[in-house]
Amino acid sequence: MITVQATPYPYAFPPGKTALVVIDMQRDFIEPGGFGAALGNDVSRLLAIVPNVAALLALFRAKGWPVIHTREAHLPDLSDCPPAKIARGDASPRIGEVGPMGRLLVRGEAGNQIVPALAPLAGERVVDKPGKGMFWATGLHEVLQAEGISHLIFAGVTTEVCVQTSMREANDRGYDCLLITDATESYFAEFKAATIAMITAQGGIVGWAAPFAALEAAL
């Protein structure tokens, strides 16, 4: 076991049974002209964590540990997108509408690709998920169970939406989860802080949190 100094107490993980999960570092959320910007958000906050996520990826790749990338992505006919999800919003463009990087949150479109600096390597699993969480309608739990994965280390965006939803789904499925606090970001600083506080409260009711330096130090 490797032990990371974390909140609310040290996080111990078994190498070989631990995967890095990089949530939705796709152009739709990170770059101007994507879905996140269409919702009225300042995407520069998210762009700023790309170097930290790259460092985290480099660490896992150097160790030969498993890496999973997710994308929030729907089929071109939107048959995997609940009508309520498409309808949600006020005046902002809808999922499936055409934006500067192609159709918003649709598989295969330019905006749906992971930013080049964090591009998946051959052999790294890429999960297209129609929900905010990584387990709903993806079959991922069964795959991870077959591979004996018991611990998940999280990075990506946004902290309180797809990262937190995925962490909560993972926690309910029995995974021990660590969030790397400087490799995740929200469009809202207060939401990021609140998410970290709420997942680690009550003795780690959802999981643990630690900065990248704490993981590095543990190795």
Residues that bind ligand TIU (CB under 6 A): 24, 29, 36, 39, 72, 132, 157-158, 161-162, 187
The nearest distance, CB 162 to ligand TIU, in angstroms, is: 3
Q: Which is nearer to ligand TIU, 4 or 23 (CB)?
A: 23
118 contacts: CB under 8 Å, gap ≥ 6: 22, 25, 50, 53, 54, 57, 69
CB-count exposure of residue 67 (10 Å: 0-12, 13-18, 19+)? buried
Residues assigned a catalytic role: 24, 129, 162
Place of tokens 């999280």: 154
State the Cα torsion 144-135-150-69 to the nearest 10°. Answer: 70
Q: Which residues contact 79 (CB under 8 A, 6 or more apart)?
A: none
CB burial of 166-189 (b: ≥16 within 10 Å; e: otherwise) equals bbbbbbeeebbbbbbbbbbbbbbe
Closer Cβ to ligand TIU, 31 or 72, answer by number: 72
Considering beta carbons, is residue 84 or 146 the nearer one to ligand TIU?
A: 84
CB 30 within 8 A of CB 47: yes
Nearer to ligand TIU, 206 or 214 (CB): 206
| Minimal distance, residue 199 CB to ligand TIU, in Å | 15
